[in-house]
Amino acid sequence: MDRDSFSGRLKDLRLESGLTQAGLAQKIGATQRQVSFWEKAQVEPNIFWLIKLADFFDVSVDYLIGRN
């Protein structure tokens, strides 16, 4: 997994926060399955979820999508 990709950055942020996929999902109101799909790059989140994730991790959407 490319650490500069959305999926890589999401997984790194989640692990740095000490959260499981289910734990992150609960905190942002998503499902564990959604988080899993995002981290495996099977599905890309829409803007609603990108903003939720950016706010939760206190990073920019640009950072999440690799535009730092």
Task: Decide if 65 is inside a domain.
Answer: no
For residue 32, the domain's CATH number is: 1.10.260.40
Q: How much is the pLDDT for 1?
A: 57
What pLDDT does 68 receive? 72
Q: How far is CA 55 from CA 2, 3, 28, 42, 49, in A?
A: 22, 20, 10, 23, 10
40 inside domain: yes
12-68: pLDDT as tens digits: 999 999 999 999 999 999 999 999 999 999 999 999 999 999 999 999 999 999 887
pTM: 0.92
The predicted structure's pLDDT at residue 67:
87
**Domain total for the chain?**
1
Q: Is 25 contained in some domain? A: yes
Does residue 35 fall inside a structural domain? yes
pLDDT level of residue 4 (50, 70, 90 thresholds): confident
The boundaries of the domain holding residue 19 are: 6-58
